[in-house]
Structure formats: structure tokens, C-alpha cells
Chains A and B, each alone.
Chain A
């Protein structure tokens, strides 16, 4: 059994394309062409060149000596925080903007929660000179002012999503509505491994550069390409999908997914979808999602905006239900402490999303000779205000 997507767009029972007919031509055009386009030599050449020259890849695989000593195991950090714009998100937006060009699209739309994907999209649109519209929940616009300003500097138009709960899921709804209203010239750059097939697979393939590099770098450093464990935080799950990608079907490599427990799994303020979600449909995909017994999608909570999504990508839903992945949830408090600890031990201030992945070492013990790779998905600059308020810095 493979944990990759099958030819019908499913991971086990999850995935598919549950979309209104109005979206069918757009999604079908993408579905029928994305693999061929990605295989084209010219596409690959441009993608790789931009990742190298513009994003700054390969990102280092750094042996975290002091962190490893503290937790008595061998921890490597995959430094996605060193990517241009500060996180792994740009790997996907570079891939998708090239895809949009190959499809002859003129106009780019995107959704964003904290603004990281919005900034990564606005960045590549500026790079390519394309029109960019980013949908962002009205509430998120208020609490993420610096990222709104960054997007504006980059030439994007930021449109407030005023419907529903005015956060990420509503921004996604608004972006989908825009796509329905503009079915010919527009490409929708989804920011995670969510949405209708082929998005989860396409985004995972663009992010797969992460695990491709880990393989090469680990071979250099340890003489073998497989770690014992690979750890990543999961909101929608794009950094995790990229970090796991080339290890999915290798049972020797343990996969650990870390979700945001918020104020605690049972607190009513959480985003731990695997623990709290049930199978259903969100944004065109059958997956695990947080919902009421009546099937209404509920609003999640996490201190980290990037993990604050009521669903999870279908790949991860399948990793959870099949038992292939080990799912751990981490509270706001433990994540914040772990972020501060990494800063003090290694001189790296991680994004709060990433801090969740680092927090598991307090409770999840590894053997001394285990090689554990943590995907350091983003840097903490964007979270300074939250860190300052939380620790009274």
C-alpha cells in the first residue's frame, strides 16, 4: 500500500474533489495538466533555478548540538526558516506561479491566515509581474498588520473576508468564490496540501524538495539517507508533506506529526484535528475536520495562526487513520517554552508553528543514537509580538 495519492486523487479514503460544478473546468484543467507540466524540462529547469538563486536553496540541515545534548538524541534541523520570505511556503508559490504561467493565466488569487502564504504569493507575483489578490479574514487583517503591509509593498491587493468567522476558512471560501466568478484567466494558489485534488498532491510535490534535500544531506553527514524519525508541525500540513514526501513509503522512517492543542485538547479552544475531527468535507476535500455533530465546520483555536485551520490535508488524515504517522498535540504553553528554549540553546528563533514540533522532546523520548530530523518550517520574526507579550520580554 502506498501513502501517496492514487490515480483518482485519494489518499486511502481521503481526498477527491468535492467541488461545485462552477469550479469543475478550472480544477479539471489543472488536474489533467499538472503532472505533464511539472515533468517538462523547461519547467523543472526554471523551478530549480529559482529555488536556488531566489529562495536560497538548498537550506542547511543543521546538527543542533546543544539541543541534542539536552534531549540525549541526535537532532537535525532542516532550516526552512532560511528560505526567502522566512518559511517553506515560498517553495509552493514558486512552483504554482510557474504552473499558472504555463496554463496561460494572468491573474493570481490566494487565501491567507497569518499572512505568510499571502506574502509568499505576493512575492512571486511581484517577481513575475502578475496581478495578485489575497483574501484575508477581517479579524486576521487586524492582528497581522505587518504582513498586510508587506503584501501591499509587494503590490498585492488585500481583500478582507467579512463572511462567517472572518478568519482563514472564510478567506478560503472567498478565494474559491473569486475563482468561481473568474473561471478563465485566474489561477488560485492554495497555500497548503488542502483543497480539491490535484492541489494536495501538487503542493506536496512542490514542497517535496525538502525531503529530497534531507536525503542528500543526511547521506553526507551520516552516511545514510534515512533518519529514524522525521518531525513536523501540521496545520493544513504543507511543510510536513514536503518533509515526509520521500519517506512516506519507507516504513523504516518514523513519521511524527505535531498538531496545536491550543489551550488543551478538551478546552474547547484547540486545533488538534486528528484528535477532535471527524471525516467530512472541507474546501473541496474529504478529510478529517473539526465540526459539530450536525456537520457545521467549527472555528479552531491556536496561538499560532499557521496551525489555526479546522481541517488537515487528506494525506495527513490518511497517515493518522492508517497508523503510519504518530500524531502528537502540543499546547500553546509548551510550544512557547520550546520556542524560547531553541533561541537560547541554538540561537535560532523559530516560528510558533515550528515551536510546536520542538516541544515534543520534553515528553516523547528517543534513543541516544536515533537520528531525528525536525523540519524547522519558519522563522519567528513574524511572531515577535506574541513572544514579547507572552514572556514580557
Chain B
């Protein structure tokens, strides 16, 4: 069974952490992954840096720019990740924009992912209908789960379509925003979480955008299976480097 699906069966709220590969330092990728697993994180999203990340706010864009300056590329990331499955068991998801994957060759990209032991992909600018028509078979051939986003503006009909094409979880964007731009969740957002929960979709939902600490994690997971932290973790890396990862995770995960 795919590690993502297996993890989703666990009976607790899940914490996913995003970081940009090659940031803060080029060689940090493997260390960050190992430390995140040790700290008790449930999923890791490895950001493949892109020059023009439309759906991201300034924090993640700056980390991408830095990572590219550090020399990160698709093939270098794959080189760094070779052998990662000897070190960690945690589900690994690559999050990146579609153009670098197109240039690498989508099939070759998927094949490399499988060889390394990547479990899924999040590609914000690959729309669900294009995926469905052109790439679904290919992704499935290499055992990759493709994770789609929904937002408060996504219609119920479209959510159901996305649910039907998905196998894994649905990435529920908390508000109409780019990453890293909200502060706490209001009543409107909470009622959106509940509305989606009440749809009884076959794929569980993991909330992203606007989660930065224990409080927002708990709010987000009241109606959802888990939550994703991205920008707040990047800020932590920016301030503390890759040495104090456990303390960041503990602060969020101190659930009991």
C-alpha cells in the first residue's frame, strides 16, 4: 500500500511539513527530512524550487529564489534523495510547479520519483482536468498519488469531481490567499471546514495555508484529518537554520 494511504488510516490528526529543497543551504535536504521524521511529523512535502511560484507568498518565493541561487535543480534534488528510503519511512511528497517537470520530462520525472520512493506529488498549476486527461495513467503507473487543492470558492460539484479523481487526501486551502498570508481562522473559515467535512468525501482533507502553530493546527484539524505547515517552518529555518527542527515540531504537536 502507498505510504500516504497507510498513514491516513492512523487514528490521530496528521501534521505535514513543507520545506523548500536546497534551503537554507544546498546540502540541507536530507538532514531536514531525517530530523522531521524523528520529530514525529507525519508527512513531508519537499518543495522543488521554481523561479515564478504563482500560488506562493513572499516567504516561500524567497526560499525558492535562495534555493535556486544555491544551485538546486530537479536532477540535483533527485541525486540528494537517492538512498533516502534507507534512512526514513515517512511519506514523501514533492511539491512543485509544472514547468520544471515538463522540461525534465514528465514520465522520466515520475520514474525517478518511484525509484527514490516518493509517494505523491502536489502540482498547483496542473489543473485537475488536464491531469485527468493526460497524466493520470502515467502517475498511477509509477505509483504516485497526485494531490489536488480545493478552496472556499471551489464549487461543490467540482469538489466532488476532484474527490473522484483523487486517491490519498485533498489539500484544503484554508482561505482565498497565497501561502503564508493569514493570521488565525475566523468563523467563516471554520464553517467552510465544517461544510467540506459534511460532504463525506472519500478522501480525507488536510488543511493548508495559514497554519503556523499549535492553536491554528488545532483549529484546522477540528474538522479535518490533518494540517500542513509551510511558510512558518521556512521562517523558522531562516531564523534558526536546520539545527532546531525538533523544537519547532514539538511546539505544534504538543497535543496532549
Contacts and interface: CB of A to CB of B under 8 A. Distances in A.
B193 interface: no
A281 B177 contact: no
Contact of B99 (A169, A173, A182, A291): A291
B184 interface: no
A18 B130 contact: yes
A298 B103 CA distance: 14
26 contacts: A20-B124, A21-B124, A21-B148, A21-B151, A21-B154, A24-B127, A24-B158, A163-B65, A164-B61, A173-B54, A176-B54, A177-B57, A182-B176, A281-B97, A281-B99, A282-B52, A284-B54, A291-B103, A294-B73, A294-B75, A294-B100, A294-B103, A295-B103, A296-B50, A297-B99, A298-B51
A20 B153 contact: no
B76 to A, nearest CB: 9
Contacts of B177: 22, 180-181
A302 to B, nearest CB: 19
Contact of A296 (B51, B154, B178): B51
Interface string A166-210: 000110010011001111100000000000000000000000000
A16 interface: yes
A198 to B, nearest CB: 14
A293 interface: yes
A114 interface: no
Nearest to A17: B127
Given A180-B177, A181-B176, A20 B103 contact: no
Contacts of A275: none
A276 interface: no
A278 interface: yes
B177 to A, nearest CB: 5
Contacts, number: 113
Interface residues of B, number: 42
Interface string A29-67: 000000000000000000000000000000000000000
B51 A297 contact: yes
Nearest to A170: B52
Contacts of A169: 52
Contacts of B104: 294-295
Contact of B102 (A17, A163, A176, A281): A281
A60 B43 CA distance: 64
Interface string B109-130: 0000000000000001111101
Given A18-B127, A20-B125, A22-B151, A278 B103 contact: yes
Nearest to B53: A173
Select the residue from A22, A24, A163, A181 with max chain B CB neighbours within 10 A.
A22
B173 interface: yes
Contacts of B53: 173
Interface string A271-301: 0000000111111100000010111111000
Nearest to B104: A295
Nearest to A183: B176
A321 to B, nearest CB: 16
Interface string B56-77: 0110011001001000011100
B149 interface: yes
B35 to A, nearest CB: 27
B55 interface: yes
A188 to B, nearest CB: 12
Interface string A194-233: 0000000000000000000000000000000000000000
Select the residue from B52, B68, B130, B176 with max chain A CB neighbours within 10 A.
B52
B168 to A, nearest CB: 16
A154 interface: no
A25 interface: yes
